[in-house]
Structure 1
């Protein structure tokens, strides 16, 4: 079906294109009668404004970009829901891209979003990202940018985070308070900042409570998923017979460990206590239910878009925008695994 234009409406009604345009925009110098006639004709013809032309005039695309490591993921899907809810309220569409924890793909996606002239970009970094020159380019082009969850401390932009170090400290302390003396840590890859901070929180809690840090009790889970948890638990049982507690970087890794212990008749928490991180929906459904740290994904999504919108609004008015770092609260969830 051919697109209906202002010219077609104007010809049908025998008035000027300018009058039609003003009538549809409710200009005060057009009579109510003319506005009603024009709007009735536009509705009959199913007229829709040319969004591209409007965007050229306003210099806005009304789209924003979102790059996340993984879409099929309880935490990130909660973030997406929060972002989309806020974006829709302000009339924005969200282009969602998945980096698959790949720096190369993330870099291409940034280039794509820039070429699409999005009004702003939100990103949680891939585990493989070290070089942030592609994000520096975003800043050079003065495209509003907000990082969340997995961030780079080297980049001067707005950020929405939790205190990963403090949350990990509290999680490890809970294991210590539960009577654990020999606590292993299933950590993430070496590069992501949240992986580093959770490891440092675990280590500090041991030191503050007089428990020696043993590097052989730290197992790297590159993908921080269920399979990593299974493999790390099996290796732990081969290496150490005296471990009585585990702090895992994610709930999935913790649940993988629980499955191994259940299969081998190792009682959780009687023989070994386990703490997760994130509070996935499955954490309360497994047996035993998993103690964890509640990470506010939905709220993080809402705050990420709100902060991006503030910067986009400021740039539109050619006003200075002071970069902000917003820290959201986490919460310890005690269940049956500790």
Structure 2
């Protein structure tokens, strides 16, 4: 069955399409009798407005785009919840795309969202993103853009982050105060800003506590910061540095891989080696021993990023100037059994 149209309603009632449209919008220059007849027939025919036509008229799609590196991740699932809650308040739909940590895919997804004429875009950059022309294209298109979590500092737009450098500094300082001295770091790749900042926080904490930085204690995670990175690097570090006494991991998933390997070979955590994670993934409180970690407020990051984006969409609609915001949310240490 074809969808009912304004023309169909108008023909059946013997009135103009304009009158039908006005009746459905409750215009005062249409009689109550005509309004009732139009509404009754529209209900009978299950009429719904053509969203594409409405979008053309209002110059709004009532849709925003969201690009994240991965959906199956506790942190990003919390971010999505926060964004969806804000979108629902404003009757907006959210198109969610996953870049799989791939720069080329991320570029294609940006082009797709612009082609769909979304009202705004939220992005957490992939680990492979080192160039930002696609972001500049969004801004040149005058489409509101908010970056969160993994950002590009040189792109002039609103951003919602945590202070990754401070959070890492606090984590390593905590380990040092607990008496650990030979502390390794399983770091993220060299492109994402948050991985860079967590490494710099680690290094600064060592220096401020008179511990000489040793580059051989820094291991690169090359498989998108997953379980295998932690497991395989744990094998390497025990072979190369058997006297290690603590590891600060760039993410909880990496830390869980470390714990899995140590449990298999009988290394006692934290008596022999302490393990510290990052982001407070739900598995952190289930694994044995339970993982000490940095609590990263994913839901609030999503809420704030979406709220800022909607403010910018509204400002654009009203021809008001947009003032970019840089929001930095607080983190905290969640102390558990692994330290």
TM-score tier (shorter): over 0.9
Counterpart position of 2:334:
333
- Alignment of 1:81 with 2:78, yes or no, is no
**Structure 1 equivalent of residue 193 of structure 2:** 193
Aligned to 1:2, the other structure's residue is in SS state: coil
For residue 15 of structure 1, what is the aligned residue in structure 2?
A: 15
Residue 248 of structure 1 pairs with residue 249 of structure 2: yes
SS of equivalent to 1:27? coil
- Hey, what's the Cα distance between the residues in 2 that align with 1:309 and 1:112? 20
Shift of 1:327: 0.8
Shift of 1:11: 2.3
- Aligned partners of 1:28 and 1:248: how far apart in 2? 65
Q: 2:10 & 2:214 partners in 1: Cα distance?
A: 79
SS state at 1:293 partner? strand
Aligned to 1:68: 68
Which residue of structure 1 lines up, in the alignment, with residue 217 of structure 2?
A: 217
Match of 2:290 in 1: 289
TM-score for both structures, normalised by structure 1: 0.98
Other-structure match for 1:315: 316
Q: Which runs of 5+ in 2 are unaligned?
A: none
Task: Please report how far the alpha carbon of residue 61 of structure 1 lies from its aligned counterpart in structure 2 after TM superposition.
Answer: 1.3
Matches of residues 143-292 of structure 1 in structure 2 within 5 Å?
143-222=143-222, 223-292=224-293
Deviation at 1:299, TM superposition (A): 1.1
Shift of 1:224: 1.0
Q: Deviations over 1:279-310 (max 9, x none)?
A: 01110001000000111111111111111111
Query: Residue 80 of structure 1: CA displacement?
Result: 1.2
The reply to whether residue 27 of structure 1 matches residue 4 of structure 2 is no
The equivalent residue for 1:56 is 56
Structure 1 partner of 2:5:
5
Deviation at 1:85, TM superposition (A): 1.7
Q: Deviations over 1:240-297 (max 9, x none)?
A: 1211111000001001001111111111011111110010111000100000011111
Supply the distance in 2 between the matched residues of 1:332 and 1:34 (Cα, whole angstroms).
65
Unaligned runs of 5+ in 1: none
CA offset digits 1:209-241 (Å, max 9, x no partner): 111111100001022110000011000001112
- Alpha-carbon distance in structure 2 between the residues aligned to 1:158 and 1:220: 30
Structure 1 residue 168: deviation in Å? 0.5
SS at match of 1:185: strand
Give the Cα separation in 2 of the matches to 1:247 and 1:175: 9
How far did residue 98 of structure 1 move?
1.1
Cα distance in 2 between the residues matched to 1:266 and 1:6 = 73
Distance 1:32 1:235 in 2: 80
After superposition, give the CA deviation of every residue in 1:51-107 in whole Å (9 maximum; x if it has no partner).
000000011111111111111111111111111121122121111111111111111
Aligned residue in 2 for 1:110: 110
CA RMSD, Structure 1 to Structure 2 (Å): 1.1
- Displacement after TM superposition at 1:160 (Å): 0.6
Comparing 282-291 with 112-121, which one deviates more in the overlay? 112-121
Q: CA shift at 1:321, angstroms?
A: 0.2
In 2, Cα distance between equivalents of 1:11 and 1:139: 45
1:37-48 maps to which residues of 2 (within 5 A)?
Answer: 37-48=37-48
How much does 1:34 deviate? 3.0
Equivalences, count: 338
Q: CA deviation at 1:133?
A: 0.9
Q: CA deviation at 1:32?
A: 3.4
C-alpha distance in structure 2 between counterparts of 1:331 and 1:10, whole Å:
62
CA distance in 2, matches of 1:193, 1:24: 51
Shift of 1:31: 3.4
1: CA distance, partners of 2:28 / 2:177 = 70
